[in-house]
Amino acid sequence: MAEAERIKAFGEAAEREARDPVNQPTINNWVEAMGNTNPRWQGGEAPPSMAQVWTMYGLGGRPPADDPLHAMMKVLTDAGYTAVLGTNCEQTYERTLKVGEQVRVTTALDSVVGPKTTGMGVGYFVTSRNTWYVDAPDGQREVVARMLFRVLKFVPRVSTDGDSA
């Protein structure tokens, strides 16, 4: 828990820019995959639920050294909490994104709670807070979306026959 407090004290990681601006081909692929046929998404706006898509690392991507979520996950892994289970995600959207906007994200460690005994094993609930921004017309950064993302990082239960449950 001391290490969690140390990581939290650093606050938000530096803003990380999406590798591509918001673009219609990616919107088209997303809405097709989601089965979303709303014609609004054909005209230069992205569904709000795509906020995270723009700043995902990609298959070969790596989190930056100052990423607090990954730092906390490494601390727990090194302590033997090797399994991960996504538990929930709370998202807030301020507005849709528009084609051409360049999205940036910051991440902070919000909380670490535990140890807790669950049906999966003993572990810690780790919550990160992400905020997505774009440049507003006045040059200020504008918040477009927020997310609390919570995972359970745990030691898998071992059944009586010696196998992981």
Per residue in 120-154, pLDDT (tens digit) is: 899 999 999 999 999 988 989 999 999 999 999 99
Taking Cα atoms as reference points, which of 157, 155, 28 lies closest to residue 84?
Answer: 155
- In three-state secondary structure terms, 95 is coil
- What is 2-156's CATH number? 3.10.129.10
Query: What pLDDT, on the 0 to 100 scale, is given for residue 109?
Result: 96
Q: In whole numbers, what is the pLDDT of the chain averaged over residues?
A: 91
Structure-model confidence comparison of residues 160 and 20, the more confident one: 20
Residue where the block lists tokens 């200020």: 140
DSSP string, 30-78: HHHHHT---GGGGTTEE-GGGGGGGG---TT----TT-HHHHHHHHHHH
Residue range 19-53, pLDDT digits in tens: 999 999 999 999 999 999 999 999 999 999 999 99
pLDDT at 24: 97
With CA atoms as reference, report the closest residue to 6 among 128, 109, 76, 130.
109
Which is more confident, 3 or 55? 55
User: What is the distance between the alpha carbons of residues 41 and 163, in angstroms, rounded to a whole number?
Assistant: 48
Q: What is the per-residue pLDDT for 133?
A: 96
Q: How far is Cα 63 from Cα 76, in angstroms, rounded to an integer?
A: 17
Higher pLDDT, 114 or 164: 114
